[in-house]
Amino acid sequence: MNLSIIVPTYNEAPNVAELVRRTTAAVVGIDAEIIFVDDSIDDTPDVIREVAAAAAIPVRVIHRDQATGGLGGAVLEGFRAASAEACVVIDGDLQHPPESIPDLFARFGQGDVDVVVASRYAAGGAAQGLADKTRVFVSKAATAVTKAMFPIRLKDTTDPMTGFFLIDRNAIGLEGLQPRGFKILLEILARKTLRVAEVPFAFADRFAGESKASLRQGIHFLAQLTALRFGKMSLFAVIGGLGAVANVAIVWALTSAGVGYITAAVIAAEVTIIVNFLLIERFVFHDMRHEASGVGSRFAKSFLFNNAEAVIRIPIVALMVSTSHISAVFATAITLVVAFFVRFVFHSLVVYAP
Ligand code: GDD
Ligand code: MN
């Protein structure tokens, strides 16, 4: 078996026969199978079994009674059940033309990528199946925000939210994936640095039935995005917090040993900055290191940024205290919080930029 075609379905009975017909016709000459991963509450599984009996290639259905993880969970279940390493994921409503499957497979066959994304937004692609203007806007805005949040891992794709793609099952880190909501490709691309190529396709209208997209899915998506992105950020925060505690402890130890306050503060700040760099290298941005500049250059950027930040923050606090009624402690707290976000963004986008 060279190709497993995974079709997540939720109440798609009227689309099954047409999907299997067009897919089998499209993959003639490829040793392929179709796996439906079904969470339907209608007769979709029966229809699939009926169609499977007459199909020219192997067609299986996995019906799940507990629809764990929704669409994303279904797709992961499909990967686990697949006979081939190369797995295509395609919607069951024919919004993704099966005729594009050979394009994906051929691109994968060049052997230099782990994922091939079928993109609505690449040159030659089209998104006319996003019927109304609101959905076009939501889709484009979500894509832009998502790409901005993962500037490195999503740099090679114009359509991280597509549900039509091919993956090398052994390359994507299947075990580390958490199926949540609709956007399983985003989960795959955001968690691990993978080699990605794109193939354009035209997103069509549904053949039959209704979309299962909903406000609930939208909320799921935001939760997914936050967990994926701010997982790194919370680690960065914990390390930063430990650094602040260490800073105070060093100042205390040195001043108790008779060192002057200014000297003690400078030594504590520099030690904290260096240890902080070593820790974020090891624990936060470890997966981004090999694509970024050399360690010397990373250290120089991080070191200069943190020193500049420490120096600039003092006059800013003074300015805040003198121009408004807030206390020095409160002003310091505000600047520390702002500095934290700026530092995180600077490290994600500059220090560890590819
Ligand atoms: N097994 C399973 N479980 N399948 C599901 C579930 C579920 O809970 N929810 C939806 N599906 C199946 C549908 O039956 C269909 O085959 C496919 O997933 C896509 O669902 P649609 O209801 O057609 O959603 P859509 O057209 O709004 O969303 C499509 O476009 C998005 C990009 O705009 C999908 O392709 C998404 O994956 C894609 O991100
Ligand atoms: Mn659809």
pLDDT for residue 52: 97
Percent of the chain whose pLDDT exceeds 90: 60
Q: What is the pLDDT of residue 294?
A: 93
CB 269 within 8 A of CB 310: yes
Determine how β-strand 86-89 pairs with β-strand 165-168: antiparallel
R_g of the chain, CA atoms, integer Å: 26
What confidence tier does 181 reach under pLDDT thresholds 50, 70, 90? low
Question: Which residue, by CA, sits nearest to atom 13 of ligand 1?
Answer: 9
Among 97, 80, 71, residue whose Cα is nearest residue 167: 80
Number of helices (H), then strands (E), belonging to the chain: the values are 10, 7
162 CA to centre of ligand 1 in angstroms: 10
pLDDT at 291: 78
Mean pLDDT value across residues 100-123: 97
209 C-alpha to center of ligand 2: Å?
9
Burial of 53 (0-12, 13-18, 19+ CB in 10 A): exposed
CA of 157 relative to ligand 2 center, distance in Å: 21
Q: Tell me which residue of 18, 29, 198 sits closest to 91, measured CA to CA.
A: 18
Task: Give pLDDT, residue 289.
Answer: 84
Between the CA of 303 and the centroid of ligand 1 the distance, in Å, is 46
Q: Are strands 3-9 and 32-38 parallel, antiparallel or unpaired?
A: parallel
Cα-to-centroid distance, 181 and ligand 1 (Å): 10
327 lines ligand 1 (CB under 6 A): no
Give 300 or 315, the one with higher predicted confidence: 300
CB of 10 within 6 A of ligand 1: the answer is yes
Measured from the alpha carbon of residue 120, the closest ligand is: 1
User: Would the pLDDT of 163 be above 90?
Assistant: yes
Q: What crossing angle do the helices spanning 101-109 and 13-26 adopt, rounded to 10°?
A: 50
pLDDT score of 284: 86
Q: Which ligand is nearest to the CA of 146?
A: 1
Q: Say if strands 59-63 and 86-89 run parallel, antiparallel, or are unpaired.
A: unpaired
Q: Check pLDDT > 90 for residue 253.
A: yes
Q: Return the residue whose CA atom lies nearest to atom 17 of ligand 1.
A: 91
Comparing 282 with 18, the larger pLDDT belongs to: 18
Does ligand 1 lie within 6 Å of residue 187's CB atom?
no
Question: Which stretch, 21-25, 71-75, 228-232, 327-331, has highest mean pLDDT?
Answer: 21-25
For the chain, the average pLDDT equals 91
User: Token pair of 207, please?
Assistant: 């053949």
Mean pLDDT throughout 312-316? 88
Q: Which residue puts its alpha carbon closest to atom 12 of ligand 1?
A: 9
Q: Probe ligand 1: pick from 37, 42, 71, 117, max atoms within 8 Å of CB?
A: 71
pTM of the model: 0.74
Q: Predicted confidence band at 258 (pLDDT cuts at 50, 70, 90)?
A: very high
**With a 6 A CB cut-off, is 95 part of the ligand 1 pocket?**
yes
Q: Respond yes or no on whether ipTM tops 0.90.
A: yes
Q: Is the pLDDT of residue 212 over 90?
A: no
Tokens matching residue 165: 């793609």
Pocket perturbation via mutation, ligand 1, pick of 6, 9, 189 by most ligand atoms within 8 A of CB: 9
Mean pLDDT of 180-188: 85
Centroid of ligand 2 to alpha carbon of 319 (angstroms): 55
Q: What pLDDT does residue 121 have?
A: 94
CA 194, CA 176: separation in Å to the nearest integer? 14
**90 C-alpha to ligand 1 centroid (Å):** 9
pLDDT of residue 4: 98
